[in-house]
Amino acid sequence: MKKNRSASLLAQFFLLTLLIWVSANARLLAQEPRFESEIKAYEARAVNDPPVPGSTFFVGSSTWRLWGPALEGDFSRFSPVNRGFGGATIPDVLRVMDRIILPSRPARIVFSCGGNDLAAGDAPETAVKNFKTFLARLWKENPLAEVYFISNRHSPAREKFRKQGDQFNKQIKKLSEKIDGLYYIDVVPLTDGKDRSSLFLADGLHLNREGQQRWIPVITAELEKREQSRTKPNLNDLLRKRIAAGVFNASETASAAEQKLNIVFIGNSITAGAGLKDRQTEAPPVLATAYLKQQAGIENVAFSNQGVGGYTIVDFLPVTNKSFPKVALAAETFRKETGQLVFSIILGTNDSAMQGPNGSPVSPDSYRANLKTIADTLLKANPGCKLVFHHPIWYSPTTYNRSKYLQEGLDRLQTYFPQIDGLVADYDKTHPEQVYVGDTQGFNYFKTHYLTDFQHETGQQGTFFLHPNKQGSATLGVFWGEAIRKAVQR
């Protein structure tokens, strides 16, 4: 009897131990990855206020996080975007770069990270290896991006890691001398003098405002120097040097320079460049093409702007014989040349109006059906072409010129988005790798920046915002250009 009782108690003990173990590990499994709340906040911000491709990203740990909103003012002329998160190591950056860095395709990255790695016990060689992995992943996606490495400073609280920091800095500096696109900025002398303690916060680890202000002119001078002296690099030469430096493997290629694109832009007055002083140089198609050449590295790009003010999707239907013949002629001209033929299409603003433009208001179902008719015709007439359908951009609910839009129109406009997405999903089954959803960020971007990026127009309900100004046109061109790049380089 005692034996059975002992066995029962032992079984209960093991069961209780198992339950405790499962409970403890369940809590561990339920925990979010390091810094997940900060990363999610950056992702949400990128949706509500999308960074423009070509911006300057400040990437790394608490150096940038604690700099806070002041960073945007301190480096304003470089379109700064803060992507620092406290306590980050280089592996932490690697883990999240697909979420908060690469999708925005920055032109420059100011990188300050590695000190936490060394303090946690990593050897300088390990930190350098991880940094090379960061460069490889960045440059595979965006070979023309420039990286400015901020040297590992000597903080009072980490004096015992001075030797490791110096070794880390020395190796990165040596690497930067071997390859184009990586630049070393030495900030150690700025905060390593007799007054060092007065340049850091009470923790002896992070810069105070006085310390930050010593960095600003040095970083700015380096960015400005590259801005003034920048020449277009040869992608094959960049690749060769990066292979020699151990950043890339010899099997990796950079073929963007060998591409040739012929783009037909289809749209309304926004595409046409309405209200701009010089449409020949300021319209979004012109600037999308410039982006593809200068920041995507596609050297040979030709385009035809088929944007027509006031036109709806109905006006571009082949059966109406209004604008489609000109689109077909532009495509026929490009077919006689070498290169990938791309149709960049953004229609819907005028379709969403309450009254005025031809066929408006166009229902979501009719919008999709009309879009499909245009797409089917283009795909049949131009075998191998690619179609990129951008989401229409925001306009103010006060918009009422010769046509009436208002809040009803703006609400209707947004019902077109799932129609575009659904149509592209259907084509993915019947025409794989030919039809793509293009820019989806412009709507929220202009909703946030309408005061600076839209023309201020006067209508029947006061000031309204419908057409991008010169600055907004440049931004829209970048969004379109990046969407086209993704479509042709997939």
Domain boundary among 244, 279, 303: 244
Q: Which residue stretches of 77-205 are H helix?
A: 90-100, 115-119, 124-141, 162-176
pLDDT in tens, 33-55: 889 999 999 999 999 999 999 99
27: confidence class by pLDDT, cuts 50, 70, 90: very low
- Element at 149 (helix H, strand E): strand 146-150
Q: Are residues 213 and 263 in the same domain?
A: no
Which CATH number characterizes residue 373's domain?
3.40.50.1110
Q: What is the DSSP letter of 173?
A: H
Residue 476 near residue 442, CB atoms below 8 Å: yes
Residues 6+ apart with CB under 8 A from 281: none
Number of domain units in the chain: 2
Lowest mean pLDDT among 17-26, 142-151, 212-221, 385-394: 17-26
| Section 345-367 average pLDDT | 98
CA end-to-end span of the chain: 73
Q: Does any domain span residue 27? A: no
Residue 242 near residue 254, CB atoms below 8 Å: no
Question: What is the rounded CA–CA span in Å between residue 237 and residue 41?
Answer: 38
Residue 481 near residue 296, CB atoms below 8 Å: yes
Q: Does any domain span residue 22? A: no
Q: Does any domain span residue 433? A: yes
Q: Are residues 123 and 200 in the same domain?
A: yes
Q: Are residues 455 and 322 in the same domain?
A: yes
* Burial (CB count within 10 angstroms: exposed 0-12, middle 13-18, buried 19+), residue 320: middle
Residues 6+ apart with CB under 8 A from 275: 455, 457, 467, 469
Residue 434 — φ and ψ, nearest 5°? -125, -30
Q: Are residues 308 and 387 in the same domain?
A: yes
Q: Which domain holds residue 90?
A: 36-244
Q: Are residues 451 and 397 in the same domain?
A: yes
Quick one: pLDDT at residue 13?
Answer: 46
Q: Does any domain span residue 70? A: yes
Determine if residue 61 is left, alpha or beta; phi over 0 gives left, psi from -120 to 50 gives alpha, anything else beta.
beta
| Section 439-448 average pLDDT | 98
pLDDT in tens, 340-355: 999 999 999 999 999 9
The answer to whether residue 31 scores a pLDDT higher than 70 is no
In terms of Cα–Cα distance, which of 452, 417, 423, 451 is closest to 435? 423
